[in-house]
Homo-oligomer: A and B are copies of this chain.
Amino acid sequence: MTGTPTEVDGAHRPAAPRKRADARRNEETLLAAAARVFVTSGVDAPVRDIAAAAGVGIGTIYRHFPTRADLIVAVYRHQVEACAEAGPALLETSSSPHAALAAWIDLFVDFLVTKHGLAGALQSDHASYDALHAYFIDRLLPVAAQLLDAAAAAGEIRPGLDPYVLMRGIGNLCIASTDERYDARRMVELVVAGMRQQ
């Protein structure tokens, strides 16, 4: 493969779909590898490590994911989507908007807390993470806003809570610590309790 593209393949049929299949498979492999590396080394893992784990050249990573943020987004897309979709669902199935909000925040925290370094990346100002911020905001902010609005409308939480501030704050609370004493969930509990209308 390395230096000898499989000309044979392209011979029979339109190369495009064929290649796409290859590329897609390749991308899957890559995402799986990245996910694996992220778990152990965090989302800041050296590009080379990820490439090695995927059995792929560095260039391939960059071709598929020009930015580290692109890669991170791709790796966690499913879970972010699931989290996003869980919002409206919870709103329907929960006993109250506030319960839905609390449950949803739990989901979000569970997600972040288990993604080594993700919260840190989310907080980073570094330009290479712009796309990551954008994606999270685009996808999750509306959900958070909807939940907040519903709870506020129901008079269950104090009005005027900014969904951006909430998301960002929760993200910050989830920044990992080596120190076992710290427990992000405990802090988030306080936040959730604090939102309630007294």
Complex: how many Å from CA A2 to CA B181? 43
How many interface residues does A have (CB within 8 Å)? 45
Tell me, rounded to whole Å, the shortest Cβ–Cβ distance linking A146 to chain B.
18
Report yes or no: A55 in contact with B182, Cβ–Cβ below 8 A. no
Contacting chain B: which of A82-90, A91-99, A147-155, A163-171? A163-171
Instruction: Tell me, yes or no, whether A28 is within 8 Å of chain B by CB.
Output: no
Alpha-carbon separation in the docked complex, A160 to B172 (Å): 23
Residue of B nearest to A26 (CB): B1
A106 CB → nearest B CB, Å: 15
How many copies of the shown chain assemble into the complex?
A: 4
- Contact (Cβ within 8 A) A1 B164: no
A131 touches B (CB below 8 Å): no
Q: Which of A150-198 contact B (CB under 8 A)?
A: 161-162, 164-166, 168-169, 172-173, 175-179, 181-184, 186-187, 189-196, 198
A183 CA / B164 CA spacing, docked (Å): 9
